[in-house]
Chains A and B, each alone.
Chain A
């Protein structure tokens, strides 16, 4: 099943939650909607599910207008952040619920339902919990049951709203690997919402980065990480060193001093220089395009982290760099910094 979202607009009073969003999701894809809170990602997911209606635009499933159908008629499986399991039913009944209430013409008989539920519980590896109640399960188990329940009706599309948001870090890591392998097994078109970049980059085929109701970039995890389209994406994904620079006459200046860097098409005026932390090469004074003085050094594990003060227009700018542990650095040392790769974006974008 393909999903196509065209020009979707959604407003809550005077607040624009989605500002003409376009998106295409291919068959069998696992797509991540990534963005900070308030970026409109959950609203978009709810509109696709039919839980909210947009103020304008189209949603098409395989070219067919989905907005003409209610949530129940779209054959969508939805997994909620807080599981939304029915508390008065045991695990088996929760999973079977969607099957029992199908229209009589397509409803399975009791033996078939039993078989299907057991298959699903095997799929999520929790068959041994079938007669427990949701309150007796851990968060990770509940979420897997919620996923089994969503899959029970053989949805054409699977939507997950921050599925691992309420779980602790370790369980979350485990579950996202499990979700990836599950998706490889069942290949249902899926969209999941997250604000955890690591989760999005690790699990998804493609990542949609959203901010303030707009899509900033759509691409594979590699593309989004290596070639951020906008300053927001560069700042949001991965750890970056950001320096305020000025572009003047095709040259890049830091605190009035020209740097030997390419402006990369950024227009004249205040801009920002983004360098991934691991792309910043640290050498002795004079070895790089930027000079700075070490202020503090902290060492842990295989790396040491140093605060380096750079001269700037208004006072100094403090940045944090990583260097190997074996390189001796002391507060007060002068170092030269050479970005191996960098991006410059105009401050206005």
Chain B
């Protein structure tokens, strides 16, 4: 014998005998593959097959798997199969290999109409769940507010101040910077395009109306949703993960009253303040660009601004802010309370909180636009 593995074939009528010999190990993988492949390709019509492995000198998982693969492919042709000469040492190995599933489970569900419809249906149901969650949270919040109004001593003033610092005071630099830059960009773009019509000075009108009515509040709300909404979700979610919320409940606290109410009140106070600051910074930035880039003198800018905008524009922007704050706060807290045990779930809900928060802010802005248009403002 040459030392390599071998697989001899012998045919007797409708019976086929295969004699395996030599080392059946991973070292001889290429040889073994060819041997077994040949037999598989042979496509015999034999009704009975015997695989004799008594002369196999060495067997490892690879060899055992090839024997199993061979017997499977032969069994597919409908032959009656017998494996002979398997020593006790190797039988466990072959048995183990046999347990391997023939076809691995598919990695992904196949894309079918049914699966697609299923996914769409689930997404729609999730939207419904989100809305129900928001309504539930609003109800719980109003109840908590009522409790606090009846028992003012239970109101957690310290907590409100703490969150006011987090969402408002610490947000001032970034909000002012971003709105200042946006104001600059609006003015620059306005000048660049209006100049062709000789309408430089109308930039002031555009800047004033746009910033006070829309951009100021919208930009600030989106920033706050990303900055504070995600923080709220992460804070509540991690408390939920560590069972701190359950601990509060067993000690007789309403987590809505203790945790959610102060956060939302802080947002309702903080967001209008930030909106005001943001609008002023944007006007300042716009004015600066108009002066330095467009040659509109500050006096002319202010004069024009006084004509172009009324207190209504300013009020419309400011009225929207607390509503945006409530929406952001509620969405963030709903998501925080939905966090389950794992860190993965915390991440998912934090992302969802920001996405949904920004979405609802924009929807809200659209609704306000329709409302103000219909009352003629």
Question: A residues touching B (Cβ–Cβ < 8 Å)?
Answer: 46, 49-51, 70-73, 76-78, 80-86, 97-98, 101-102, 104, 150, 153
Contacts and interface: CB of A to CB of B under 8 A. Distances in A.
Nearest to B341: A82
B250 A101 contact: no
B195 interface: no
B45 interface: no
B243 interface: yes
A72 B243 contact: no
Contact of A80 (B153, B246, B252, B253): B246
Interface of B: 153, 242-244, 246-247, 249-254
List the 5 closest pairs (A to B, CB-CB), nearest first.
A72-B252, A84-B247, A78-B250, A84-B243, A80-B243
Contacts of A51: 246, 249-250
Contact of B242 (A70, A72, A84, A153): A84
A104 to B, nearest CB: 8
A97 B153 CA distance: 16
A77 B250 CA distance: 7
Contacts of B247: 78, 80, 84, 86
Contacts of A97: 251
B300 to A, nearest CB: 54
Contacts of A46: 246
A78 B253 contact: no
Contacts of B242: 82-84
Contacts of A102: 252
A161 to B, nearest CB: 8
B249 A50 contact: yes
A71 B243 contact: no
A84 B241 CA distance: 9
Nearest to A153: B251
Contacts of A49: 250
Contact of B251 (A81, A82, A83, A101): A101
Nearest to A75: B252
Contacts of A70: 249
A77 B246 CA distance: 11
Contacts of B153: 104
B244 A72 contact: no
Nearest to A103: B252
Contacts of B251: 72, 97-98, 101, 153
Nearest to A76: B250
21 contacts: A46-B246, A51-B246, A71-B250, A71-B252, A72-B250, A72-B251, A72-B252, A72-B253, A73-B252, A78-B246, A78-B247, A78-B250, A80-B247, A81-B243, A82-B242, A97-B251, A98-B251, A101-B251, A101-B252, A153-B251, A153-B252
Contact of B244 (A71, A84, A104, A153): A84
Contacts of A77: 250
Contacts of A86: 244, 247
A84 B254 CA distance: 16
Nearest to B154: A101
A72 B253 CA distance: 6
A84 to B, nearest CB: 4
A72 B254 CA distance: 8
A184 B332 CA distance: 46
A80 B246 CA distance: 9
Nearest to A80: B243
A72 B249 contact: yes
A190 to B, nearest CB: 14
Contacts of A85: 244
A51 B246 CA distance: 7
Given A50-B249, A72-B251, 9 more contacts: A71-B249, A71-B252, A72-B252, A77-B250, A78-B247, A78-B250, A84-B243, A84-B246, A101-B252
A4 B254 CA distance: 26
A70 B253 CA distance: 10
A77 B247 CA distance: 9
B253 A82 contact: no
Contacts of B244: 84-86
Contacts of B249: 50-51, 70-72
Nearest to B252: A72
A50 B254 CA distance: 13
A101 B253 contact: yes
A84 B247 CA distance: 7
Nearest to A155: B250
Nearest to A78: B250
A49 B246 CA distance: 10
Nearest to B244: A84
A136 to B, nearest CB: 17
Nearest to A88: B162
Most chain A CB within 10 A, of B153, B242, B250, B251, is at: B250
Contacts of B254: 72
B256 to A, nearest CB: 12
Contacts of B243: 80-82, 84
B371 to A, nearest CB: 39
Contacts of A81: 243
A136 B150 CA distance: 39
A269 B108 CA distance: 43
Contacts of B253: 72, 101
A51 B243 CA distance: 11
A73 B244 CA distance: 18
A83 B247 CA distance: 9
A86 B244 CA distance: 7
A49 B252 CA distance: 11
A289 to B, nearest CB: 26
A153 B247 CA distance: 13
B63 to A, nearest CB: 22
Contacts of A153: 251-252
A20 to B, nearest CB: 25
B279 to A, nearest CB: 35
Contacts of A82: 242-243
B164 to A, nearest CB: 17
B68 to A, nearest CB: 18
Contacts of A80: 243, 246-247
A77 B252 CA distance: 10
